[in-house]
Chain A
């Protein structure tokens, strides 16, 4: 079950959903619009999943930053978002998608757990200028079924900066 805007607002007030800062104006009928933080990293080398990726830090200035196709960028939300009760899913806004931005490369599903600024996986089809704090995506909240164990999600949930993949560090690689 997906939460409607009224329900999202209610659960934010009850403290079951964290969206910080929260602005009623960003509520859509069944989602909440989040913004892009000015700190971005470009992943320079993902040739081998067993090695740590090389990255470069970028800052999105007021005049904008042009993203290039065939490159991978990681950003974060401005907002701290999370819930221990409702499952989050982060996707791009329709208006930005129309300009060819993939926001989350297939991994749109969040884990139940602590609120943090979510890492965004970004790729563009054509060259696209982006701006700091722009409305970039929307988050939805889903009612889960079953017992909740949030211990496994503590690690990524601590990260508030664009955070590269830790796949190289995983057991059984």
Chain B
């Protein structure tokens, strides 16, 4: 079962869902829109290896925007702290970012119960796209656990 926007808002007020900062205008019918933090990371190495350290390089998204390349993985975070001990959060792109060919998460959309932090975004673009700081880039849904 997925929570509606009204239910998300109620649970935020009860403290059973954390979204901080919380803005009523970002509540959608059955999800909540989150924003991208302006710090992104890319990899320095050519061949990545899960058994080794893969050093990162920091990039800031300037006010004038940053063009993302389809050849790279960008690791970012949401501006909001998001999580819950009661409902399982799942993050998605927004349809308006999806239509620009922006993946906000690479396959791993599920957040553990009890993990209350700024969720990691694994950003990948299909064609070069310019993004700006503070863009409303994705949405989080909340699911009832058994």
CB of A160 to closest CB in B, whole Å: 22
- Selected contact of B1 from candidates A1, A30, A95, A129, CB within 8 Å: A1
- Selected contact of A125 from candidates B46, B50, B112, B124, CB within 8 Å: B124
Contact with B along A21-56 (1 / 0, CB 8 A): 000000011110000000000000000000000000
Whether B72 lies near A96 (C-beta < 8 A) is no
Kindly list chain B residues whose C-beta atoms are within 8 Å of the C-beta of A97. Answer: 105-108, 122
Whether B110 lies near A31 (C-beta < 8 A) is yes
Contact with B along A125-138 (1 / 0, CB 8 A): 11111110010011
- State in angstroms the CA–CA spacing of A56 and B112 once bound together: 37
Chain B contact residues: helix, strand, loop or mixed: loop
CB of B21 to closest CB in A, whole Å: 24
Whether A125 lies near B107 (C-beta < 8 A) is no
CB of B67 to closest CB in A, whole Å: 16
Stretch at the interface among B11-19, B32-40, B138-146: B138-146
User: A64 interface residue, CB < 8 Å from B?
Assistant: yes
Q: State the A residues within 8 Å of B (CB).
A: 1-4, 7, 28-31, 64, 66, 69, 91-104, 108, 125-131, 134, 137-138, 140, 143
